[in-house]
Amino acid sequence: MSSTNPQSEFEALLYLSERLRMRFPDVDEDALFGLIAEELESFDGARLRAYVPVLVEHNVLRGLKSTHDRAA
């Protein structure tokens, strides 16, 4: 397993969750997994799956930043 070259979408999502947990330690782990799952579901049926983890990360990160900016 390599975080820079994951072998599967699942592996890429595992690394994504680790990165987000490290970047936002105050966000509940279950809530974070919920956000990831919600975004992943929005790409259900996507024909080109190679970019799904990147797009999921982008959308979750944007939402987390927005929430933290409002809280600060």
Question: What are the domain boundaries of the chain?
Answer: 9-71
Predicted confidence at residue 69, as pLDDT, reads 73
Q: How many residues are given for the chain?
A: 72
The candidate with the shortest Cα–Cα distance to 43, out of 58, 32, 31, is 58
pLDDT at 3: 64
What pTM was estimated for this model as a whole?
0.84
Chain Cα centroid distance, residue 57: 4
**pLDDT digit string (tens) for the chain, length 72 residues:** 666 778 899 999 999 999 999 999 999 999 999 999 999 999 999 999 999 999 999 999 999 998 877 766
Place of tokens 């939402």: 63
Give yes or no for a contact between 40 and 52, defined as CB atoms under 8 angstroms apart.
yes
In this prediction, residue 68 carries a pLDDT of: 74
Q: Produce one character per residue of 9-26: b if its CB has 16 or more CB atoms within 10 Å, e if not.
A: eeebbebbbeebeeebee
